[in-house]
Structure 1
Amino acid sequence: MSRRRIGFWYRLAAVIAKPPLIILFKRDWQGLEHVPADGGFITAVNHNSYLDPLSYAHFQYNTGRVPRFLAKAGLFKGSFVGMMLRGTGQIPVYRETTDALDAFRAAVDAVERGECVAFYPEGTLTRDPDMWPMAGKTGAARVALLTKAPVIPVAQWGANLAMPPYAKEKRFRFFPRKTLKVLAGPPVDLSRFEGQEPTPELLREATEVIMAAITELLSEVRGEPVPAAPYDHRKARAEQRRKAAEEGSK
């Protein structure tokens, strides 16, 4: 398998994005040796800030293996951002439409061509009150088991301190200068799931293994113990609705 060349558009994006990142942030990058030098692979990354795709892309760009992210299809329409996403080969995700499978097929094709596809398995910014990874969606596991490509878990921390998710005040907090910490780990061992029918149960179990690896790395980055269980946003919302209904019936 070949490896994707960085190309004009990615180099242009780096010229635009790297200088402010270098000026505004310190960097603590570890685990670069786990990024494969050749062949297709998947990275599975935690998501805690709108800024962290730039932080993570900077980390991986410096390995010479550029990631292709899955991003909301709406971001690709018009505008300079859309032009850059299309030019750098990012993959549009059409949620809840007849085109929803296109992102999955594009991810599989990219990995089989020897490229890297970066997944945020949580599917959105974490809703965990303590900023730990939530329960993940099964896309990364599905692509990994189909392509047999290695899954590299990645934990990042620091972008969320400069640009917190869901903050009431939409402003950057650059000072004091934050450190963007990125830690990549060895490939996740999914061997026990290979050669089996990819049932929903098996994909959920494989996803839990991937998310556990990311959380372990984040625990190392933060210097804090791993939570007892991953935050499940759907269950949390259901519990909130239940409590609200009970309060309303009193």
Structure 2
Amino acid sequence: MSRRRIGFWYRLAAAIAKPPLTVLLKRDWRGAEHIPADGGFITAVNHNSHIDPLAYAHFQYNTGRVPRFLAKHGLFTKGFIGAVMRGTGQIPVYRESTDALSAYRAAIEAVERGECVAFYPEGTLTRDPDQWPMTAKTGVARVALQTRCPVLPVAQWGANLLLPPYARKPHLLPRKTHHVLVGPPVDLARFYDEEITPELLREATEVIMAAITELLSELRGEPVPETVYDHRRARAEQRHDAAEEGLK
């Protein structure tokens, strides 16, 4: 299938966003050769700053294959931002509603039309104290297995140094570098002829996240953590510890 045209709204968004991003962030972008010239595919990207979607979109825009992000549906109703989200073809995610599955259907349709869908598999900013990828949701694996499209793991680092997770003010100086490293497609072939069960989706998701974490390890020059941070488990343990402390 042919690649999707960038279009007016994406060019307008790029004209607005690229100048400040270029001023704020130096660039170390590698692995663009893995981005397919044509056909549908998925990028699976780690998430550690509120501004890294813009920084990552800048990278991929420059490859000529613009991404369609899955984003909170509330963003699509906010004036000019909503108009840009709709105009650029981003995919609204309706959490905990009867429309929750519509995002995955839209993602599958986009891939089958030959477009790129960009997933943040963690679903939110990482809660890992050291900003490694944490346990992920299985939506990326579901779309990947149903379409059998290439899934490119992507690691990014540096936007989080400009604006750390949940920080209110950016750290402008010294000027930070946005590092992006795209890997070759993740081999998911062993899952293709299996029944798609929750267990299979979790296993496939873990394979995708492991590839992202390996790339991030290369970017950071640090070893991969021995265990993956599980936010739900950590929160349950905190509640348990607080309850025990209250009994003393």
TM-score if structure 1 supplies the norm length?
0.98
Aligned residue for 2:180? 182
C-alpha separation between the residues in 1 aligned to 2:120 and 2:241?
Answer: 31
Aligned residue for 2:54? 54
Letter in 2 for 1:193: F
Aligned residue for 1:121? 121
C-alpha separation between the residues in 2 aligned to 1:98 and 1:243?
Answer: 35
Letter in 1 for 2:43: T
* Aligned-partner SS, 1:136: coil
Aligned residue for 1:205? 203
Query: Unmatched 5+ residue regions in structure 1?
Result: none
* Aligned-partner SS, 1:28: strand
Aligned residue for 2:11? 11
Runs (4+) of structure 1 exceeding 4 A deviation are none
C-alpha separation between the residues in 2 aligned to 1:95 and 1:24?
Answer: 33
Using the TM superposition, give the Cα deviation of residue 166 of structure 1 relative to its aligned residue in structure 2, in angstroms.
Answer: 1.7
| 2:229 corresponds to 1:224 | no
Using the TM superposition, give the Cα deviation of residue 78 of structure 1 relative to its aligned residue in structure 2, in angstroms.
Answer: 3.1
Aligned residue for 1:159? 159
Aligned residue for 2:71? 71
Identity %: 78
Aligned residue for 2:94? 94
C-alpha separation between the residues in 2 aligned to 1:158 and 1:219?
Answer: 13
Using the TM superposition, give the Cα deviation of residue 80 of structure 1 relative to its aligned residue in structure 2, in angstroms.
Answer: 1.3
C-alpha separation between the residues in 2 aligned to 1:231 and 1:78?
Answer: 33
Q: Write the deviation string for residues 203-235 of structure 1: whole angstroms up to 9, x where unpaired.
A: 000000000000000000000000001100000
C-alpha separation between the residues in 2 aligned to 1:86 and 1:114?
Answer: 19
* Aligned-partner SS, 2:101: helix
* Aligned-partner SS, 1:153: strand
Query: Unmatched 5+ residue regions in structure 2?
Result: none
Using the TM superposition, give the Cα deviation of residue 28 of structure 1 relative to its aligned residue in structure 2, in angstroms.
Answer: 0.2
C-alpha separation between the residues in 1 aligned to 2:63 and 2:166?
Answer: 31
| 2:22 corresponds to 1:22 | yes
Using the TM superposition, give the Cα deviation of residue 22 of structure 1 relative to its aligned residue in structure 2, in angstroms.
Answer: 1.0
C-alpha separation between the residues in 2 aligned to 1:4 and 1:196?
Answer: 31
Work out the number of aligned pairs and report it: 248
What is the root-mean-square deviation of aligned Cα atoms in Å?
A: 0.6
C-alpha separation between the residues in 1 aligned to 2:166 and 2:13?
Answer: 26
C-alpha separation between the residues in 1 aligned to 2:33 and 2:195?
Answer: 32
Using the TM superposition, give the Cα deviation of residue 23 of structure 1 relative to its aligned residue in structure 2, in angstroms.
Answer: 1.4
C-alpha separation between the residues in 1 aligned to 2:164 and 2:111?
Answer: 32
Using the TM superposition, give the Cα deviation of residue 2 of structure 1 relative to its aligned residue in structure 2, in angstroms.
Answer: 2.0
Q: Write the deviation string for residues 61-92 of structure 1: whole angstroms up to 9, x where unpaired.
A: 11100000000001100311111101100000
* Aligned-partner SS, 1:154: strand
Aligned residue for 1:110? 110
C-alpha separation between the residues in 2 aligned to 1:90 and 1:237?
Answer: 31
